[in-house]
Amino acid sequence: AEVLLPSLDAIVSTLTELAQRLAHVPMLSRTHGQTATPTTVGKEVANVVARLQGARRRIADVELLAKMNGAVGNYNAHLAACPEIDWEAFSRRVVEQQLGLGFNAYTTQIEPHDCMAELFDAVTRTNTILIDWSRDVWMYISLGYFKQRLKEGEIGSSTMPHKVNPIDFENAEGNFGLANALLTHMSQKLPLSRLQRDLTDSTVLRNMGVALGYAVIGYDSLQRGLGKLEVNEAALADDLERAWEVMAEPVQTVMRRHGLPNPYGRLKELTRGKAITREAIQAFIEGLEIPAPERERLMAMTPGTYIGKAAELALRIGHLKP
């Protein structure tokens, strides 16, 4: 609550601002690495924010439990010494009111660590979302969609001075991977203890700070990288203008709505494996037997305006309940 969540909250805040600021900036999607239905930069960022909001809730909702019930969980020695005391009520009061933890009434010699496994799994899922985002930003930089602001004195490459490498996103990805490797082992190992106790959990628990530390380093690296990003609207617009094949989707959908025969096949014949131009798409639309208002609406569409509710969804993300 004092370290990990504030670091995560800072990323969510930065991404939310980015999503809203870039809500109306159109961008070509890529599915399976191929050109696909347009979106906006802000909407793609908003997708990450929505995932992180859910992940953050899962971390915060984990209740950490504790025990105070003797050598094997039955208050044997407590009752031997003072049988008149309600030791379970006393223990619950200490754990809940003085320590601020949840009380686990059913344990062996140790609290079974199920809650810790739940916490580590929640952090792992959060880190996995951020690995996914780090890789996507890396790809967007590679495509020229994002530029990185230069930092005075920073070296991009030992022999190629023109380069500004996406090192913050690469560092973030690497640290999240290390964190997840440790956290996954801990979540699988800690709930296991032979009979009423063994000590294998003890040596593993000593690395909890290491695992969470790698996660926080990853959050800091990612936040630093986000602070350097600038959107390259010219590159985005250029890619969209060269991807008129994506307009096959709205055209064939409108054709289907008005009962025209074989819309998918006709558009496939026009577009698949070919370089499609504005002129080719619009000539096809001109020949369609559809109502004039529908034809005019399709003629007015471009890859840069065919974005559906993307901008609206991006703007809305800041108003969703965290």
| Alpha carbons 263 and 107: distance in angstroms, whole number | 65
The residue annotated as part of the active site, out of 32, 158, 202, 319, is 32
100's enclosing H/E stretch is: none
| Alpha carbons 156 and 165: distance in angstroms, whole number | 5
Respond yes or no: is residue 113 known to be catalytic: no
| Alpha carbons 190 and 200: distance in angstroms, whole number | 8
User: 159, exposed or middle or buried, with CB in 10 Å at 0-12, 13-18, 19+?
Assistant: exposed
Respond yes or no: is residue 258 known to be catalytic: no
Q: Is 223:11 a contact under the CB 8 Å cutoff? A: yes
The closest alpha carbon to 41, from 240, 223, 222, 298, belongs to 240
Helical spans, DSSP H, in the chain: 4-21, 41-60, 76-81, 87-93, 114-143, 167-189, 200-205, 208-226, 233-241, 248-257, 263-271, 278-286, 292-300, 310-316
> Quick one: DSSP state of residue 253?
H
The residue annotated as part of the active site, out of 7, 78, 113, 157, is 157
The closest alpha carbon to 246, from 300, 196, 203, 306, belongs to 306
The closest alpha carbon to 104, from 67, 64, 61, belongs to 67
Catalogue the active-site residues: 32, 157
